[in-house]
Amino acid sequence: MKIRSLVAAATFGFVSLLVVGVGATHAAEVKVLSASIMRPAFTELTGEFERMTGHTLTISYDSAGAVRRRIQGGEITDVAIVQKPAVEALSEQGKIAPGSIVTLARSGVAVAVRKGASKPDVSSVDALKRTLLAAKSIAYPDPASGAAVGVHFRGVVEQLGITQEVNAKAKIYEESSTPYPEFVAQEEPEIAMMQPMDILVTPSYDLAGWLPDELQNPNAFTWAVGINAKAKEPDAAKALIRFLSSPIAAAVIKNRGMEPASP
């Protein structure tokens, strides 16, 4: 037990040194613009980062599409978190600093049902189609908002040829001050399309299963971080990225339902 404690302490100390970095001279306010899916992880990680570095985080959450549009429009933040292809495109446009992009986590789209309800079969494309047609109500984020799950699910129902049937019973979440998990809990749909990170913070819902592999889009659900090309606190932003790539952050990201890119 003592050996484990010593190893844990040594690991924590090493990570702290990496995160703080050599030459850190002042505490800074790091402005973060992030896709909403990272909210549960940041809720747990923010205090630890601030304690280790002396920096403070000011985080603004939005749909993935809105984050991309806001950065494209010239909004100045220190750090942006969105899908990796979007971050890379923003870098090519001169909005994200070259060489600053780091992959954080991978996820996908899953089906959630009310806790205690029987779990429908979503194990194959045909099974998923039958489940969606049989469901009395289906919740998903508005694709027009740029929400990754909403955009992806719209493509899925179009591919299955059941757009009209699904939209007739859809409970569509529009971006607001109420997070999507709270919307699902309030509306109580029979089925909700969510990422596991959101399911874990919705106590009244359980994971029924992932969409079949053929209907997943790994690139669209690989989340990455980059430093704004006009960041006011680039050194503190680098410290945050080192922290988000550390074993401490990886453990939290995994517990929150995503697969961390860094062990």
Kindly report, residue by residue over 95-124, the tens digit of the pLDDT.
999 999 999 999 999 999 999 999 999 999
The DSSP result for 157-224, as a single string, is HHHHT-HHHHHTTEEEEPPSSS-HHHHHHHH--SEEEE-HHHHHT-TTEEEEEEPPGGG--GGGGEEE
Give SS3 for 123.
coil
Q: What predicted TM-score, i.e. pTM, was given to this entire model?
A: 0.82
> Residue 91 carries which side chain, given as an amino acid letter?
S
Position 139 pLDDT exceeds 90: yes
Position 217 pLDDT exceeds 60: yes
Neighbour tally for 45: CB within 10 Å: 21
Kindly report, residue by residue over 166-182, the tens digit of the pLDDT.
999 999 999 777 899 99
* Mean pLDDT of all residues in 207-221: 95
CA dist., res. 263 & res. 257, Å (int): 15
Angle at 232 between CA 220 and CA 106, to 5 degrees: 20
Domain coordinates in residue numbering, the chain: 26-106+219-260, 119-210
Position 12 pLDDT exceeds 90: no
For residue 92, what are the contacts with CB-CB under 8 A and spacing of at least 6?
none
Helix (H) or strand (E) holding 32: strand 29-35
The pLDDT-based confidence of 25 (bands split at 50, 70, 90) is low
Kindly report, residue by residue over 42-52, the tens digit of the pLDDT.
999 999 999 99
Position 92 pLDDT exceeds 70: yes
Going by CATH, does the domain composed of 26-106+219-260 fall within 3.40.190.10? Answer: yes
* Residue 21 pLDDT: 52
